[in-house]
Amino acid sequence: MSTLHIFIPESGLGASCDWALRAAGTLSTGNSACASLPQADQVVLIVAASRILLTQVNLPALNQAKLREVLAYAVEDKLLADPESIHVVAGRAGSIPTGGETPLAVIDKAWLRQQLAQLQQHGMHPDKLLAETLLPRLENNAWTMVWNGQGGFVRTGPNAGFVLDGGEAQNVPMALTLAIDEARAAHKAPASILLYHTPDASLPQWVAKLDIRSEARGAWAWQTADVNGAAALNLLQGEFAPSRKTQAWMQHMRPVVLLAGAILAVHLIATLAHWAQLRHERNRLQDEMVATFKQTFPEAAAIVDPALQMQRNLSGLRRAHGAPDSADFLPLLATAAPVMRHGRIQSLQYAQDKLHFDLLLQDGAQLDTLRAELAALPLRADYGAPNSVPEGINIRLTLGAGPAPQQQ
């Protein structure tokens, strides 16, 4: 699985952005226009430390839905901002050095919405958004500091840290001094501080003035950091939660969908080919019947139904020579008589080689039985509309010689 990490600086996304792509155990880095970023299975945003506030509060026991509603108001006393203008997510309670408090990550809602909209314009749909503050590696009983030449940040726990808002080469940043004093007062001071610097900076001179043991660890870059440690505080939650679960599922199902589509296409082509073959065979047989009829009865002017016309003409020839025909009254009646027991014959007529019955049936089941048995006989049966009467069902039935016509 490939993962694309995109860094969003404090000023926000510009015409281009820094990225790192992890795929098949390899790491690629670069700077590209937002429209030309590499494609990956997962997209993770890394936001500059100065854009995200990490804090902790004691929260009441609430379900997730209720908790999201109160998070912005839980940090109201820590920020000079309208709760409606910030986006707040919570980590796991007890995962910070102060014990049972819940870690929170806070970001400006309008700024975040602007960054996501810019990426989505170029077809990028991020899965996670992590704070740069939580990327450096932690060690037991130690803080980790990253210095960029003018400021930086310090990671103090799995989901805790703070920003060094500016600084000088000679003087220890006030934020660092206050944080160390506060930790000592709570008996939570680290035994050491691990010092990193960005590739374009070096450690400041005030490092030697720290009244706590420090260890220089060399250069640090977000591109090579292990992001798994920061994954617990993913800011894409609530209204900013990824909305492409269905898209991702379809992406994974794409080979199956393509295979099913190919099978369906082959089946459809085969069905159409078979249908065309049957149609061609039907037309060929129809042409043969027409040719046979013309050969037998050359005086015929119009041929509409060669099979029916052939039968009628043959019946006429039989009668003309005194031979019985299946369309005569007695042969028709003899063929139909066995199934007429299912109904009471109200009237019977014979005209134009057809028998016309008025039948009284007991119910619909008797009508179904009559239909089934007539379908098995060499007769053409036409049914009138059933008419309900107190005694049962009246129906008009017309029978002629020959099998019922095949549906085309």
Q: What is the pLDDT of residues 38-88, one digit of tens each?
A: 999 899 999 999 999 998 888 776 656 666 666 777 777 677 678 888 898
Record the pTM. 0.58
SS3 90: strand
pLDDT in tens, 349-384: 888 788 898 989 888 888 889 888 888 888 888 888
**CB count, 10 Å around CB of 52?**
24
Which regions of the chain carry the CATH code 3.30.420.380? Answer: 1-136+222-243
Query: Can you list the alpha helix ranges (DSSP code H) found in 75-147?
Result: 109-121
**CB count, 10 Å around CB of 72?**
20
pLDDT value of residue 374: 85
Assess contact for 96 and 56: CB atoms under 8 A. yes
Which regions of the chain carry the CATH code 3.30.1360.100? Answer: 306-401
pLDDT value of residue 222: 92
Task: Look at the block and give the residue holding tokens 């043991």.
Answer: 213
Please state, in angstroms and rounded to a whole number, the distance separating the CA atoms of residues 316 and 241.
84
pLDDT over 60 (residue 327): yes
Query: Can you list the alpha helix ranges (DSSP code H) found in 186-298?
Result: 245-296
pLDDT in tens, 264-322: 899 999 999 999 999 999 888 888 888 887 788 777 777 777 777 777 777 777 667 66
Assess contact for 26 and 14: CB atoms under 8 A. no
pLDDT value of residue 97: 46
Nearest to 56 by CA among 23, 13, 103, 95: 103
- CA distances to 247, 266, 360 from 258, in Å: 15, 12, 59
| Domain 1-136+222-243 annotated CATH 3.40.50.150 | no
- CA distances to 75, 262, 283, 363 from 269, in Å: 65, 11, 21, 46
Assess contact for 244 and 43: CB atoms under 8 A. no
CATH of domain 138-219: 3.30.420
pLDDT value of residue 408: 43
Assess contact for 311 and 328: CB atoms under 8 A. no
Superfamily in which the 306-401 domain is placed by CATH: General secretion pathway protein M, EpsM (3.30.1360.100)
Backbone angles phi, psi at 400, to 5 degrees: -135, 165
Assess contact for 386 and 393: CB atoms under 8 A. yes
SS3 84: helix
* Token pair for 387: 């008419």
